[in-house]
Chains A and B, each alone.
Chain A
Amino acid sequence: MLTLYGQGFSSRLLLGTAQYPSPESLKQAVKASGAEIVTVSLRRESARALTGQGFWALIEELGCRVLPNTAGCRTAKEAIATAQMARELFGTDWIKLEVIANDDTLQPDLFGLVEAAVALSAEGFAVLPYTTEDLSAAERLVAAGCAVLMPWAAPIGSARGLINKDALKMLRAYFPDIPLVIDAGIGTPSHAAEAMELGYDAILLNTAVAKACDPVKMAEAFARAIEAGRLAFEAGPLEPRDMASPSTPVAGTPFFKIDHAS
């Protein structure tokens, strides 16, 4: 059971709601993924189009917990105001906190992130920060009150998987009791399974499902991979070794002669 801010979830997949070919495809993909948490955002509303109103009706149909983000915010001040608007709009104090440093990498601005996390935690928000694998930033975020950390695997939308696996292993080992969610950079179900095998608690992804040729099938593939990865972690995988180790018993090998061994 995944527990985030005191709430239990049976699915370890958090799914984004953007970039699907159609609203129907989004609905079916969420269903196929088994996700109980979906991420959403807020954007400027046009009085003519009223785009957000229709989208909200669709989200309510899904029956999932919503996790609003502060995507696109470049400063702590922007992220704080966006989180406050999101809390009122979506009726939740959960916030996926993003403060973006750079347009090309979409990497978190760790300084702004910590600043915003301190302010929002003090206001009673349940902050889920989109961060890097940096240990000192993680420590500051936990000290600020974050009870969940969401490190990237690779830049958002890059589909590259765990590009700094050693650092992610270190982060896991360093924070054994903080739920860690891989957020961003996952391209294939095998990437997700790999992160789960390392002991990560959950995976948040969007593009890998939404931009697949068949998002619904890919959503199911991710659900199964994440479940398999988690089971493998719980089962305790083997440590890799350099040399072979026979699996079939050596004792009693037919035609065995002592000089075979030399």
Chain B
Amino acid sequence: MNILLNGEAYATDAKTLDELCARLGFAEAKIATAVNGNFVAAMARPAVELAPSDEIEIVAPRQGG
């Protein structure tokens, strides 16, 4: 299935958002997620099933002003 991961085309067979994060190596990482513009809390990730063309954002802390 093709999705958009952080603005770039990405092919995955992960079924859920939680699975996608784990496969990317983010299982223990400090991240936050959104799907199609809406925030998805960490606890809700296992219940969020991915669909083709979903737009996934995975973000982490960064320098800011």
Contact = CB atoms under 8 A, between A and B. Distances in A.
Interface of A: 16-20, 26, 39-47, 50-53, 55-56, 59, 68-69, 71, 77-78, 81, 84-86, 88-90, 156, 206-207
B61 A156 contact: no
A188 B41 CA distance: 41
Nearest to A52: B60
Contact of A18 (B7, B32, B58, B64): B64
B65 A71 contact: yes
Contacts, number: 105
A16 B62 CA distance: 11
A223 B32 CA distance: 34
B17 to A, nearest CB: 13
A110 B56 CA distance: 28
A20 B30 CA distance: 23
Interface in B32-65: 32-34, 37-39, 41-42, 57-65
A151 to B, nearest CB: 16
Given A50-B29, A86-B32, A43 B38 contact: no
- Label chain A's interface by main secondary structure: mixed
A206 B34 contact: no
B39 A55 contact: no
A167 B19 CA distance: 53
Nearest to B28: A53
B46 to A, nearest CB: 15
Contacts of B41: 88
Given A85-B34, A89-B31, 20 more contacts: A16-B65, A19-B63, A40-B63, A41-B63, A42-B60, A42-B61, A42-B64, A45-B26, A45-B31, A45-B59, A53-B60, A59-B61, A68-B64, A77-B37, A78-B37, A88-B32, A88-B41, A89-B30, A90-B61, A206-B65
7 contacts: A42-B32, A42-B62, A44-B7, A46-B6, A47-B24, A56-B30, A81-B39
B29 A45 contact: yes
A88 B42 contact: yes
Contacts of A17: 63-65
A52 B37 contact: no
Contacts of B25: 47, 50
Nearest to A41: B64
